Amino acid sequence: MDIEILLVLQAFREGVGGCLTSFLSKMTWYGEMDVTLVIMALIYWCVNKRIGTYLLMGWSGNRIVNGVLKVTACAYRPWIRDPRISPEPVAMKTATGYSFPSGHSMNAASLFGGLAIRSDIRRGIRVLMWILLFLVAFSRNFLGVHTPQDILVGAAVGVLVMFLAGKLSRWLESNPDKDVLVAIVGVAIAVAAAVYAATKSYPMDYDAAGNLLVDGMKMANDTFKAVGWLSAFMLGWILERRFVRFETEVPMQERFWRLVCGLLGYYIVFLVVVPPIKAALAGFSGTVVASFLQMFYLVFVFPLVMARFGGEAGGEKR
């Protein structure tokens, strides 16, 4: 049934759906890991630190949940299950890892769903966030890279994780001294996920020519990225809470320079610093370290720079 739905969408896409294909190809971009991560970082740096922290915490949790679920289910992508499925090439570029659940849907659930379930955000914006979540999730079906169950479970689990992240954030406001415990548990979860993904067995199915259909260890790469992201968030979050304490209630001009300098620094880390480090490290260690540096810069290093050179440390209520 799921494949039949994709075939119907594919027929429409290849027939009269050219404009819709172009639109949904752009919408699927808003579910990519690096895109949602950067948007959340900008909220964290420049708009509202409390909401940004909540979004980054929930996103990090969603990435580890997605990674564990993917390597547990080991569900093949639709075009591997049925050769009649012909995905859009633009969507194929970011269709990494196993199929179930959809990572793009969980990313969108982290950002858009995470904002949509907050009662302190205006209703019109919340409605818009639900619409964006639907469009990103549906785009993965329409472009042929995920089945309906992939996106439905991905979106539902993603919103659930954000709900729990909100509960955790409110609990921490009442119990601020428990932050170290939360960080330790988070890192422990990341380590357990890494051990699980590295030691479990993966399907070994072959095509008629004797070629391995899917290399399970390659499919686990996104899981190891999540390990680095969650570990870095927990460490950077604690260090920022204890030693930096930057504020977002600053003049608009300073917010602008935070955006410009923060993004410049991020892409220097991402494009200049990380690649040689990743290349020098064997196996999944390079993936974990690269993701760790990426998140650690966003959560701690750049906030430290802001606080030191912006001359504002220690004022914001948590």
Three-state SS across 265-304? HHHHHHHHHHHHHHHHCCCHHHHHHHHHHHHHHHHHHHHH
What is the reported pLDDT for 192?
Answer: 98
Q: At what angle do helices 123-142 and 18-29 cross, to 10 degrees?
A: 120
**More confident position, 309 or 25:** 25
Task: Tell me the two tokens of residue 123.
Answer: 């209703």
What is the reported pLDDT for 107?
Answer: 97
Mean pLDDT rounded to a whole number for the chain? 93
pLDDT digits (tens, 9 = 90+) for 236-291: 999 999 999 999 999 999 999 999 999 999 999 989 998 898 888 878 999 999 99
By percentage, how much of the chain surpasses pLDDT 70? 97
Asked whether residue 292 carries a pLDDT value surpassing 60, the answer given is yes
Say if 99 falls within a structural domain.
yes
Say if 84 falls within a structural domain.
yes
What is the reported pLDDT for 318?
Answer: 39
CB–CB of 44/110 below 8 Å?
Answer: no
CB–CB of 3/78 below 8 Å?
Answer: yes
Say if 316 falls within a structural domain.
no
Torsion, Cα 27 32 34 35, to 10 degrees, reads 10
What is the reported pLDDT for 222?
Answer: 93
Asked whether residue 17 carries a pLDDT value surpassing 80, the answer given is no
Count the neighbouring beta carbons within 10 Å of the beta carbon of residue 265.
16
Asked whether residue 226 carries a pLDDT value surpassing 70, the answer given is yes
CA distances from 139 to 1, 42, 107, 216, 252 (A): 18, 25, 13, 25, 35
Say if 103 falls within a structural domain.
yes
In which band, very low, low, confident or very high, does the pLDDT at 5 lie, cut at 50, 70 and 90?
very high
Overall residue count recorded for the chain in this entry: 318
Count the neighbouring beta carbons within 10 Å of the beta carbon of residue 126.
16
Asked whether residue 197 carries a pLDDT value surpassing 60, the answer given is yes
Burial of 144 by CB count in 10 Å (0-12 exposed, 13-18 middle, 19+ buried)?
buried
Say if 216 falls within a structural domain.
yes
In which band, very low, low, confident or very high, does the pLDDT at 314 lie, cut at 50, 70 and 90?
very low
pLDDT digits (tens, 9 = 90+) for 45-79: 999 999 999 999 999 999 999 999 999 999 999 99
CB–CB of 144/87 below 8 Å?
Answer: yes
HSE toward the beta carbon, residue 199, CA cutoff 13 A: 6
Q: What is the mean pLDDT of residues 15-33?
A: 88
**More confident position, 318 or 172:** 172
Say if 63 falls within a structural domain.
yes
CB–CB of 139/103 below 8 Å?
Answer: no
Distance CA 162, CA 304 (A): 26
Burial of 86 by CB count in 10 Å (0-12 exposed, 13-18 middle, 19+ buried)?
middle
Return the biggest CA–CA distance within the chain.
Answer: 65
What is the reported pLDDT for 313?
Answer: 42
Number of domains in the chain: 1
What is the reported pLDDT for 179?
Answer: 95
Distance CA 95, CA 145 (A): 7
Angle at CA of residue 29, ends 154 and 112, nearest 5°: 50
Question: What is the domain range of residue 48?
Answer: 2-310
Say if 318 falls within a structural domain.
no
Say if 315 falls within a structural domain.
no
